[in-house]
């Protein structure tokens, strides 16, 4: 009996050790581990230049990020990391980080300067990505694309090192969107901190999106869009409609804008519908408090353009509730520039934005005298 018992324990131990996490600690391990394991950890890792850390995970995989995952330098479009799969659980151990080492790329010119890689791209279904830390993105930090039913929670995106240094603006980071959602359905972005130099969150296309409890520092806002022409970014602007988005319980400090919805005059036709912003606060943006503009044009930021709005992407059913903001002296508190008949059912209640400059609107929402 005792012998059988001991053998059973030994077999169990062998089984358990066989079941242990598979660990990726050099780039060469990636393909074999990803194709053979469903419980994976990544330790400190340096990914070779011009190479995507491609994690096409098996269904149901748990991936634990540990240590410092960094990347060789090159002028290319990335992504530095691609995670795909369904029913994934991606978590990070304390201190784990994707370090994009943006300081090697930042030239003050963002998309208009040297080619820079997107850091993290996710294409997933029924999956959760929790606790991920992203440091120093060369350009856009993360993009969730062609995804369905994905929850992002407890992320920290820290691009504070790329903030404009008045003495050295040529070394600043630009176009470092925090979390972009593109052609995706059923996405939740929750309980996260984003410190960056472009949109905190950008919903570029898709539907049934919830954004809640996000703290934004230094950003261009909690944004619907921009909705742009494919020439500007074919990967983000291949579809131009957005429906059913709720952005709530979030706060912004510093940066350019608070709430932002912008469309380019030369974007393919699209529609922005059924968007709710609720319980948002912002303090100190220097350009706009609330910015709704249908007159963007695809030129470098220093070039003046025709301000006439175009109705190629109408905005229908835009509800704002319980919004409190205070803007810097340089900022327009509320700006609405709509093409004729292209902004319908704007229902804004309990919206208070204070500043020094006057508002600048060509449409008056119901419930808010602009």
Ligand X SMILES: *[C@@H]1O[C@H](CO)[C@@H](O)[C@H](O)[C@H]1NC(C)=O
Q: Is 126 in the site for ligand X (CB under 6 A)?
A: yes
Half-sphere exposure of 68 (CA within 13 A, CB side): 8
Q: Which pair of tokens denotes residue 277?
A: 């912003």
d(CA 24, CA 63): 10
Q: Is 317 in the site for ligand X (CB under 6 A)?
A: yes
Among 302, 304, 306, 369, binds ligand X (CB under 6 A): 302
Q: What one-character DSSP code corresponds to residue 21?
A: P
SS3 content of the chain, % helix, strand, coil (to 5): 10, 45, 40
Segment contacting ligand X (CB under 6 A): 8-16, 54-62, 229-237, 317-325?
Answer: 317-325
The answer to whether residue 349 is catalytic is no
Closer CB to ligand X, 183 or 273, in the complex: 273
Closer CB to ligand X, 2 or 166, in the complex: 166
**198 CB contacts (<8 Å, ≥6 apart)?**
110, 140, 174, 175, 176, 177, 178, 219, 220
Instruction: Write out the binding residues for ligand X, residues 78-117 only, by CB under 6 A.
Output: 97, 99, 109, 112, 114
Query: SS3 for 272?
Result: strand
Measured from the CB of residue 241, what is the shortest distance to ligand X in angstroms?
10
Measured from the CB of residue 320, what is the shortest distance to ligand X in angstroms?
11
Measured from the CB of residue 317, what is the shortest distance to ligand X in angstroms?
4
Instruction: Name the H helices within the chain.
Output: 2-18, 30-36
Closer CB to ligand X, 107 or 360, in the complex: 107
Q: Is 149 in the site for ligand X (CB under 6 A)?
A: yes
* Residue 364 vs residues 324, 343, 347: alpha-carbon distances, Å: 18, 10, 10
Segment contacting ligand X (CB under 6 A): 69-77, 189-197, 252-260, 282-290?
Answer: 69-77
131 alpha-carbon distance from chain centroid: 15
Closer CB to ligand X, 6 or 46, in the complex: 46
Q: Is 326 in the site for ligand X (CB under 6 A)?
A: no
Closer CB to ligand X, 6 or 112, in the complex: 112
Within 75-229, strands assigned E span 81-86, 89-92, 97-99, 120-130, 133-135, 142-145, 148-153, 156-158, 179-182, 184-195, 201-203, 206-217, 222-227
d(CA 288, CA 328): 9
Catalytic site residue from 158, 199, 217, 220: 220
The answer to whether residue 199 is catalytic is no
Site residue total, ligand X (CB under 6 A):
33
Q: Is 360 in the site for ligand X (CB under 6 A)?
A: no
Closer CB to ligand X, 88 or 310, in the complex: 88
8 Å CB contact between 216 and 180: no
Range 91-121 burial, b when 16+ CB lie within 10 A, else e: bbeeebbbbbbbeebbebebeebeebbbbbb
Q: Is 254 in the site for ligand X (CB under 6 A)?
A: no
Instruction: Write out the binding residues for ligand X, residues 263-292 only, by CB under 6 A.
Output: 273-274, 279, 281
Among 210, 253, 276, 328, binds ligand X (CB under 6 A): 210
Q: Which pair of tokens denotes residue 134?
A: 């992203």
- Dihedrals phi, psi of 11, to nearest 5 degrees: -60, -40
Range 4-20 burial, b when 16+ CB lie within 10 A, else e: eeeeeeeeeeeeeeeee
Catalytic site residue from 158, 198, 217, 233: 198
Closer CB to ligand X, 3 or 302, in the complex: 302
Instruction: Write out the binding residues for ligand X, residues 213-252 only, by CB under 6 A.
Output: 244, 249-251
57 alpha-carbon distance from chain centroid: 22
Q: Is 324 in the site for ligand X (CB under 6 A)?
A: yes
Among 322, 326, 347, 367, binds ligand X (CB under 6 A): 322
Catalytic residues: 198, 220
The residue ranges that bind ligand X (CB under 6 A) are: 46, 68, 70, 74-75, 97, 99, 109, 112, 114, 126, 128, 135, 149, 186, 208, 210, 244, 249-251, 273-274, 279, 281, 300, 302, 316-317, 322, 324, 345, 350
């Amino acid at each position: 009996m005792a012998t059988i018992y001991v053998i059973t324990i030994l077999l169990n131990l062998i089984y358990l050790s066989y079941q242990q996490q598979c660990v990726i600690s050099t780039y060469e391990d990636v393909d074999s581990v990803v194709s053979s394991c469903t419980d994976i950890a990544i330790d400190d890792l340096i990914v070779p230049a011009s190479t995507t850390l491609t994690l096409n995970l098996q269904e149901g995989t748990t991936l634990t990020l540990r240590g410092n995952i960094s990347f060789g330098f090159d002028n290319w479009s990335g992504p530095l990391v691609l995670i795909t799969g369904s029913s994934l659980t991606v978590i990070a151990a304390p201190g784990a980080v994707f370090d994009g080492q943006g300081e090697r790329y930042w030239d003050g010119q963002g998309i208009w300067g040297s080619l820079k890689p997107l850091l993290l791209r996710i294409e997933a279904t029924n999956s959760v990505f929790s606790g991920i830390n992203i440091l120093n993105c060369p350009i856009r930090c993360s993009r969730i694309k062609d995804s369905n039913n994905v929850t992002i929670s407890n992320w920290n995106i820290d691009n504070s090192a790329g903030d404009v240094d008045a003495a050295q603006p040529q070394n600043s980071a630009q176009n470092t969107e925090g979390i972009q959602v593109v052609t995706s359905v059923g996405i939740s972005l929750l309980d996260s901190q984003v410190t960056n130099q472009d949109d905190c969150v950008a919903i570029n296309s898709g539907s049934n999106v919830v954004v809640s409890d996000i703290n934004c520092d230094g950003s261009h806002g909690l944004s619907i869009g921009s909705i742009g022409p494919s020439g500007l970014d074919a990967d983000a602007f291949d579809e131009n409609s957005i429906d059913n988005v709720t952005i709530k319980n979030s706060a912004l400090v510093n940066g350019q804008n608070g709430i932002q919805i912008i469309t380019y005059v030369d974007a393919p036709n699209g529609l922005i519908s059924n968007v709710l912003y609720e319980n948002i606060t912002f303090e100190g943006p220097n350009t706009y408090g609330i910015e709704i503009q249908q007159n963007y044009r695809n030129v470098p930021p220093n070039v003046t353009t025709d301000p006439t709005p175009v109705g190629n992407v109408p905005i229908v059913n835009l509800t704002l509730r319980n919004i409190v903001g205070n803007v810097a002296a340089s900022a327009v508190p509320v700006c609405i520039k709509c093409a004729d008949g292209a902004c319908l059912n704007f229902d804004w209640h309990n919206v208070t934005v204070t500043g020094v400059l006057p508002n600048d609107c060509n449409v008056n929402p119901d419930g808010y005298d602009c």
